[in-house]
Amino acid sequence: MDKNAAYPEREQGHEKADELRRFTKLRQRKYLNNIVEQDHRRIKRLVRPGLGFKSFRTARRTIAGYEIMAMVRKGQVAAIPANDMPAQATFIATLFGVAA
């Protein structure tokens, strides 16, 4: 959680919040949002020229494809090396059910 004022450090008068507070600790780190924003910067740059999507279904499928390609490119898929293009193409084809 970042240090935004919308996340107060204490909530007054909530019994369940007091019980929850005994077992958890609120950690406020401003840099955590930056990690997420840096990861999605490429996707934002790809979506913006498309001028939006006509339906939620189209948006979901397109962004899922962008996310998968970014994961493969960054080497986050353990079974596929980042520089093995034929293996990446086969993996994407099996994920989306298309012929490679």
> Tokens 């919308």 map to which residue?
6
- For residue range 24-53, what is the model confidence (pLDDT) as tens digits? 666 667 676 677 777 778 878 887 776 777
Domain residue spans of the chain: 1-52, 54-100
Return the structure tokens found at 85. Answer: 């293009």
Predicted confidence band of residue 92 (pLDDT cuts 50, 70, 90): confident
pLDDT at 63 over 80: yes
Residue partners of 92: CB distance under 8 A and separation at least 6: 68, 69, 72, 98, 100
Residue partners of 23: CB distance under 8 A and separation at least 6: none
- For residue range 13-29, what is the model confidence (pLDDT) as tens digits? 555 666 666 776 666 67
Angle at 34 between CA 31 and CA 37, to 5 degrees: 160
